[in-house]
Structure 1
Amino acid sequence: MASAIGSDSRILPQPRGEISAAIVDLLRGASDSVPRLGAVDPYGEDLHLALYTCYELHYHGFESVSDGWEWDPGLLRLRAEMESAFLDALRREVSGGNDIDGELEQLLVEPIEGTGVSAYLRDVGEWWQMREYFVQRSIYHHKEADPQAWVIPRLRGQAKASLVAVEFDEFGGGRGERVHAQLYADLLAGAGLNPAYLHYLDFVPAPMLAVVNMMSLFGLHRELRGALVGHFATVEIVSPPGSQRMVDALQRLQADPACLRFYLEHIEADAVHEQVMRRDVIGDLLRRQPDLTASVVFGIQATNLLEDRFAEHVLERCWAEGHSSLRETGQESGRACLR
């Protein structure tokens, strides 16, 4: 039986600094003033938890927080300041340009054998590391395909029709138990983890928060529709080989079939989606609006940048040193939350 994505974890997160604390206090009713953003680390814990909290108001929200906060002018002003800091940092760190064909071809090149998180898990990863990876990705896959849906009304013609076709598969082809977010909840349950929506948010560090915040940022802003399409194409193109490595890893570790089911679905579906995104979505979009080429390229490059930062955090800063990639919350260590 499928494990429902419960609502019991939609509580406000524990703050990680001044800005996230101010936003949590505001939403909790402990404050009535929206602060201005000062100097901030554009990849830091405080900014990305604050952004994630603001964006969550556009998804399922939080228990005991009024739905009206979604469009509060003061909070939107603060969110815009945080978005600018994040976007400016992304634009500084990517090369940019208009070589869409070169970017797409590069995505098809498999990384050097043995590099990347999925390759590590396939070759030498232990079960505790696999479960940590599941926890890290949970804040992404609980929202799988949701931020990308925001771009649908901003497209026309074949690009729109084809992106909707991809999204239809992501949302289970009309079957609730096959929705990819539900399959991930089943994966968590199969791994002995809590499948509830955002249950592990407090334990997930900034590198993964930034990946999800990027999707929400691209999805919510019409001017970034090209970047959202570039991001979505990147995900669909790199997913099949990465999912195959995860299947190999899970089979080696003799994982529950529910864990394999999620990745097997992505090997099959995303192999088709890759062609659709390249030819029918990006191809048609840029024929209609060639001025969006640089934006699509930016979306591809920003996605790769943030995924590389996440892999560096997990593999080099944490697992290579023998410690957890998850955060300590003050009440519980990252490793302890897996019990």
Structure 2
Amino acid sequence: MRGPITSLLFERLVRPPHRFGLLSLPLLSFPARFAGPVLEDEDVQLALFVCYELHHQGFEGVDDRWEWNPSLLEVREILEARFEEGLARAVRYPPGSRPEQTRQALAELVAAAAVDGPDLAGFLRERAGPEQFREFAAHRSIHHLKETDPRTWAIPRLSDRPKAAPAGIQAHAYGGGRAERTRSELFRATLRGLGMDDSYGAHLDRVPAITLAVSNAMSLFGLHRRHLGASLGHLAAVETTFSASCHLYSLGLRRLGGGEAVRRFYDERARAGATRERIAADDLCGGFAARYPSRAGDVLYGAACALTLDRLFAEHVMSHWRRGASSLREARATTRS
């Protein structure tokens, strides 16, 4: 628990599904409760993450019927509204552009992001020690162990060329039908190689709000049809930037003596980069913008959100490391005993 909202939520979810009643709603809607930056609000981001996780693997001891409980959805809607307001304050909606300009506009967003913010990947490549790599892996485990599941929700909402593109990307993420080749299993090998707990959600209580916000944005865009364009743009931005970073992560692990198994997740992402970038930018985003010209801006907004949240995450991590502090909420050991 990280505040009054998660305290209320956790206390209710261990009971059988029921109406929350009106007592919970003033707590969530009272303006002073959201006076600070929502993207950095520990209570809000964890509460929203918990709501979304009910659509993923859920929680032991929590009744699956909570997933679509109207009372809980009402609470989630309030949290989502605050989260969307926070994103809108942090990310300006891109100016209008013609559908055929979507790829170029996406490339310009990525190029601008490359020179904005701290070089976390470069630090991990050149200077990070083993404990800092473990911290980084703990942060990333929050979405790498579920990988691109939130984006899969977009596939049934598409048709023709835009539908085929994410289906192909997701097939690769899920190992082409081979369980040992799925991204989540490859990342588990990275965690084990770093001496860390590789179970799903093991590091949830230690990651800060901005790490949860990165994951929450994926679920927000994936769950809502109205955010379909943003979900596709988010995917394209990640695919366009992540492969180069993965190469640096792998080199950093090699510098520290990491073997092939611990590096394989990053090596495979780096190798597949160029092809996946083209599919995401051309077939996925370009095809969607051509079919729905009025929603081209949504694609760019989703991409901008992904890039901005990644910058804020890097700023959080690097600001702590520069002063010799842990970037996690607790400095507990990250290795197995």
Q: TM-score, normalised by structure 1?
A: 0.90
- Identity of paired residues, percent? 38
Distance 2:107 2:225 in 1: 23
Contact 1:132/1:338 (CA < 8 Å) preserved in 2? no
SS in 2 for 1:275: helix
Contact 1:205/1:326 (CA < 8 Å) preserved in 2? yes
SS in 1 for 2:264: helix
Q: Which residue is equivalent to 2:9?
A: 23
Is 1:149 aligned to residue 155 of structure 2? no
- Bigger mean CA deviation after superposition, 92-101 or 271-280: 92-101
Contact 2:5/2:44 (CA < 8 Å) preserved in 1? yes
Contact 2:214/2:310 (CA < 8 Å) preserved in 1? yes
Cα shift at 1:162: 1.4
Equivalent positions of 1:1-339 (< 5 A) are 15-29=1-15, 33=20, 35-36=24-25, 37=28, 38=30, 39-40=33-34, 41=36, 42-43=38-39, 44-97=41-94, 98-99=96-97, 100=102, 101-108=104-111, 111-112=114-115, 115-316=118-319, 318-328=320-330, 334-339=331-336
Distance 2:80 2:155 in 1: 22
| Paired positions, count | 319
Q: 1:113 to 1:50 in 2, by over 3 A?
A: closer
Distance 2:332 2:63 in 1: 33
- Bigger mean CA deviation after superposition, 51-60 or 247-256: 247-256
Distance 2:234 2:164 in 1: 18
SS in 2 for 1:338: coil
Contact 2:109/2:304 (CA < 8 Å) preserved in 1? no
Contact 1:190/1:257 (CA < 8 Å) preserved in 2? no
Runs of 5+ unmatched residues, structure 2: none
Q: 1:222 to 1:114 in 2, by over 3 A?
A: closer
Distance 2:137 2:78 in 1: 31
Task: Kindly provide the CA deviation profile for residues 159-181 of structure 1, in whole angstroms up to 9, marking residues without a partner as x.
Answer: 10111011100100111100001
Cα shift at 1:72: 0.6
Distance 2:114 2:290 in 1: 30
Q: 1:283 to 1:177 in 2, by over 3 A?
A: same
Distance 1:129 1:79 in 2: 34
SS in 1 for 2:272: helix
Distance 1:114 1:305 in 2: 9
Distance 2:2 2:259 in 1: 35
Query: Which ranges of 4 or more aligned residues in structure 1 deviate by more than 6 Å?
Result: none
Superposed CA RMSD in Å reads 1.8
Distance 2:63 2:287 in 1: 40
Distance 1:243 1:166 in 2: 17
- Bigger mean CA deviation after superposition, 249-258 or 90-99: 90-99
Code of the aligned partner of 1:304: L
Q: 1:175 to 1:323 in 2, by over 3 A?
A: same
Code of the aligned partner of 2:87: L
Task: Kindly provide the CA deviation profile for residues 263-287 of structure 1, in whole angstroms up to 9, marking residues without a partner as x.
Answer: 0010112321100011111111111
Task: Kindly provide the CA deviation profile for residues 72-118 of structure 1, in whole angstroms up to 9, marking residues without a partner as x.
Answer: 10110110111010101111222212343223234256835994211
Distance 1:93 1:188 in 2: 32
Distance 1:149 1:81 in 2: 25
Task: Kindly provide the CA deviation profile for residues 302-324 of structure 1, in whole angstroms up to 9, marking residues without a partner as x.
Answer: 111111111111001x1011010
Contact 1:26/1:32 (CA < 8 Å) preserved in 2? no
Cα shift at 1:257: 2.2
SS in 1 for 2:114: coil
Q: 1:132 to 1:173 in 2, by over 3 A?
A: same
- Bigger mean CA deviation after superposition, 177-186 or 90-99: 90-99
